[in-house]
Chains A and B, each alone.
Chain A
């Protein structure tokens, strides 16, 4: 039964075509540099819908390599699970002065 069992909350990320920066799919079908703006899927049906939008944008060449990843709720919005996605959110941990996300923090 699709959409009826419990699955981890999921967001969709990709890299932006022009600069390769990390971006997140938003509820209105746009893309944001901030995970806080991301659309969160709680069911498989919601995830399928988001993925369809992401794939459309990838085919249109606006974004590169979209994929879903797990998030959990945090005080300031969703927080990624796992080190890789955490680093993609924040930028290189060794150059916090340069990571493009650092400017937003």
Chain B
């Protein structure tokens, strides 16, 4: 099988030393910015509005407490005391100096982390189901396949200079927890009639200025063929994808212009040549990788937890947190808890060094030292005993991380926007802060129920606004920030692109517009059990439009 042996310390360390030399040559003037830029981007180093930005990969969103502590250390020692978790399950440091970046990469290498595959027209870090290995409904642990994809794709010589960047997502069941429909390739784990594990394969999804949902090109791909089939898709794309126009270079355009059936035919044709070759995955190889993700030593527990019931009954704030932030675990007596990085009025996805350390401590004390990063810019403690939830909640509360708003309106995804980003047209974070402040009342949030609000500062759509129930896109009109609203998008297995509601709102009107949308929903919903998206699908955009523009 074609793969790197292990992404071992020697390799990453060599890479760090190589970059250290490149930085030295840049500083001495030997390399121009044009020569240096592709080298720094290959190592995750961008230049943003105010400073350099280092994007660090968190493969399949999984961190050990040791790694999270190292990120905290880097934030404190080399940055300004915080980091920003992104929708790609990565972390960004906003203020590193050029000379210290090799040192940061060395710190990361010591804990088996790096910044490879966080930039450039290569296969990027795979988006994962953050509840892999613990979700009650999963077919298999999707991290196994994310790791296989990582080993296959990292520095893949054929796919290092694709027409454009390429993103793969894997979700563990028919429930889509990795936005697979908005990725270049989406993989949904499933079983066939004989009970064998495999994937539904979707291709051609993407957001940006041309949002398109992925289409299924194969209903069932047995797991042993995963890599050869991906290679076939990438090969067709690499050959036929456009390189003449950056806006038409993603695979979504190729699939749309070729047609789903013809694209699938081309992939199958290519695949026929390679399916039983060196990329075929023998069962032993899958088992070997599976062993990396062996479950932690769970205790045999009863699913009922009278202690937890009593704690919930005695503390309303805790009860609200359990209701919104705690999800079922596949093992009896255990639970999965979301650590909200969305305090009301705070910056979505930001965590201070102290907060990262607090979460690492809680993971050590209660959760087998493991932490996950979600595409919603939160953290997750995947393996908690239900009877420890109260202690975990108290610890999170002390660190300012216990906001009971997971999946609620104030659980907003926001890109860095014009406050940091070189590509942005408008600010995103202040809008998120104003909205989450307006909806800070927990009882009101609970009454509104689950809804997604995503805010992007430009059409590149890093905050996935196209697939939000309420999407907000920042635009620049003659140097002034305006915000366009879309409604009805969805990022789950019922994925949909939102509809533009009408003319954009200015900074002063956008929060009121969101409130109006929520008011229409509350007035129109059948009952409290009908979530926003269902009401929208039933009544359409018209009632929202009428209220939003009534006064105009």
Interface on A for B, CB 8 Å cutoff?
A: 15, 17-22, 58-61, 64-65, 81-84, 87-88, 91-95, 98-100
Contact = CB atoms under 8 A, between A and B. Distances in A.
Nearest to B479: A82
26 contacts: A17-B27, A18-B99, A19-B51, A21-B51, A22-B49, A59-B32, A60-B29, A61-B26, A65-B33, A83-B426, A83-B427, A83-B479, A83-B480, A84-B49, A84-B418, A84-B476, A87-B49, A87-B418, A87-B427, A88-B49, A92-B420, A92-B429, A93-B427, A94-B427, A94-B430, A99-B50
B537 interface: no
Given A20-B98, A98-B95, 9 more contacts: A15-B51, A19-B51, A20-B47, A61-B31, A61-B32, A93-B430, A94-B347, A94-B430, A98-B80
A83 B26 CA distance: 31
A54 to B, nearest CB: 13
Interface in B65-111: 80, 95, 97-99
Contact of B98 (A17, A82, A92, A99): A17
A83 B476 contact: yes
B27 A18 contact: yes
B346 to A, nearest CB: 9
B327 interface: no
> Contact residue range for chain B?
20 to 34
Contacts of A94: 347, 419, 427, 429-430, 433
Most buried by A among B33, B97, B99, B433: B33
7 smallest beta-carbon distances between A and B, as pairs: A82-B479, A92-B419, A20-B52, A20-B51, A61-B29, A19-B97, A94-B429
Given A18-B99, A84-B418, A92 B50 contact: yes
B97 A18 contact: yes
Contacts of A83: 418, 426-427, 476, 479-481
Contact of A91 (B33, B50, B476, B480): B50
A61 B465 CA distance: 38
Interface string B21-38: 000001101011100000
B48 A20 contact: yes
A19 B98 contact: yes
A15 B47 CA distance: 9
Nearest to A101: B50
A61 B98 CA distance: 13
B50 A22 contact: yes
B386 to A, nearest CB: 37
B232 to A, nearest CB: 40
Interface string B1-37: 0000000000000000000000000110101110000
Nearest to A64: B33
Contacts of B26: 17, 61
A21 B29 contact: no
A22 B47 CA distance: 11
Contacts of A99: 50
Interface in B477-524: 479-481
Contacts of B429: 92, 94
Contacts of B80: 98
Contacts of B98: 17-20
Contacts of B49: 22, 84, 87-88
A8 to B, nearest CB: 12
Contacts of B95: 98
Contacts of A88: 49-50
A51 to B, nearest CB: 16
A101 B262 CA distance: 55
B33 A100 contact: no
B165 to A, nearest CB: 22
Contact of B419 (A59, A64, A87): A87
